[in-house]
Amino acid sequence: MYGKLLLFGITLYSALSIASDAQIRGVPPSDQHLYAPVDNNGVKQWHCLGDPSIILSYDQINDDYCDCPDGSDEPGTNACPYNSSRKFYCANKHHIPGFIETFKLNDGTCDYDICCDGSDEYLSGKCENKCEQIHEQFVEYKLRVVSEVEESLKVKNKMIEEARKIKALMVQKISEMNSELKIKEEQIELHIQQQEQGEDEEEEEGEQVYDKLEPYLTELSHRMHAYSQKVKDQESRISYLEKALSKLTQDYNPNFNDAAVKEAVKAFQEYASNLGETTSVADASEILNSLIDSTKDLSFTSQNLGNVVPSFANMAQYYFDQFTKPKNQELPKKKRRSENFDLELESKERDSLRDEIKVYEEDLTKDYGPEGILRASASSWVSGSIGEYKYKLGFLNSIYQDSILIGTYTKYEDNKLYFTNGHKCWNGPYRSAVVELICGAQNKFLNVREPEKCEYYFEVVSPIACEEFTDDDILANFKIDYTNL
């Protein structure tokens, strides 16, 4: 009895598999030529694809017995060990062809997501062909997905454009700050040089003025000395006369009727009562000495020096007018500005500018996702409720569960945002999170789970994750609505 059943099974497999030389079950049309029989003296034969030295009779194909080491003789059964490179082909007429693992053949399960025609269960025939109904669902799904993706890509492209503008502004800002830094460094360097050279320059200028005035001042000093001697002689005589007249005024007899004496006494009394404070020659000498000392701190220009034609009568006044000016009035404008230059303040501003440039330059090297799109999300926040908790996410900031900090932004990698160093769990680690971005036009929370204690995994919809979809992408994400089959 067993032998009859086995013979019946082999006959059935052979009948199903070689109903037509043109079609071998489980083989796509593009590979059917590999299974064309070889006529050997009227006998149809075939050789293993992986080892042509192994020759089989043509009816050994799909006979539910593995003859070829590579399993190529059983494309439509699960007789051979599974080989990922060899899968069963489902034609799926009116839909999209598919390939299913051979170990799923005739296992009693209708795998409509791959073989909508039910060909994977060909022995029992229990899975009816539902390709037309499934294809209708697929077309509807594809239209919806294409529309959503197109809308999402429009949003994404706007974000990319915004991110480019932000980056361009940063590059421009860095250029402007570098120019400002260069100017400031040159100003500081110039001021330091002027400080180092200033004293020597001023001393040279003062000596030049003194050198020009020294002959005149020396002559003037000699003249004043000679004049001083004459004045002293005059003062000595005047003092003698004043004493004599003072004695006469005190001792004369008013009753003595001498008109000349009375007139002399009256004149002297008038003179004495109007005698004011006199300026001594010593005071004038001190003034001259001060003038000589001052010339050592004065500056001049060749232009005003050329106009000097001094004489003893006008020399002092002339030099006071032409040369005795504060130094900063004669120095070049650059040097006057230098005196108002705050080196400490300017140095602090320079250092601050350097630090700011460094921050901007480091930011340019960070990974902000494809085409730097996350730059456009720097201030974006997403809020939503999942279960009993409310969540809030700042793409480049932090993520919260109610008021609890789950983590702060650390990096972007493979379409995921990483957040670390959140609030510490009770008897556990510091909270952290991975946020996977899923394509969609609007930012929103989709799902959250906690695979490890205080380590969260979020799925968040965002246009950032959107890419152009191919039919294969759409098919891979398509889910059959079995309730409507």
Structural contact between residues 387 and 423, judged by C-beta atoms closer than 8 angstroms: no
Q: pLDDT value at position 308? A: 46
Query: What pTM was computed for the model?
Result: 0.55
Instruction: Give me the percent of the chain exceeding a pLDDT of 70.
Output: 76
Q: pLDDT value at position 35? A: 97
Asked whether the predicted pLDDT for residue 485 surpasses 50, the reply is yes
Instruction: Say which range, 25-29, 182-186, 260-264, 382-386, has the weakest mean pLDDT.
Output: 260-264
Comparing 73 with 379, which gets the higher pLDDT?
A: 73
Alpha-carbon radius of gyration of the chain: 56
Mean pLDDT along residues 4-20: 40
Q: pLDDT value at position 32? A: 97
Instruction: Give me the percent of the chain exceeding a pLDDT of 90.
Output: 58
Q: pLDDT value at position 20? A: 42
Q: pLDDT value at position 282? A: 62
The full set of domain ranges for the chain reads 2-134, 135-339, 370-484
Q: pLDDT value at position 263? A: 74
The rounded distance, in Å, linking the Cα atoms of 325 and 328 is 8
For residue 461, give the amino acid letter: V
Asked whether the predicted pLDDT for residue 177 surpasses 60, the reply is yes
Q: pLDDT value at position 224? A: 74
Return phi, psi of residue 226, to 5°. Answer: -65, -45
* Token pair in block for residue 471: 């039919």
Mean pLDDT along residues 222-246: 75
Provide CATH code, domain 370-484: 2.70.130.10
Mean pLDDT along residues 414-432: 95
Q: What torsion do the CA atoms of 247, 250, 255, 260 make, to the nearest 10 degrees?
A: 40
Mean pLDDT along residues 245-251: 72
Asked whether the predicted pLDDT for residue 5 surpasses 60, the reply is no
Q: pLDDT value at position 207? A: 53
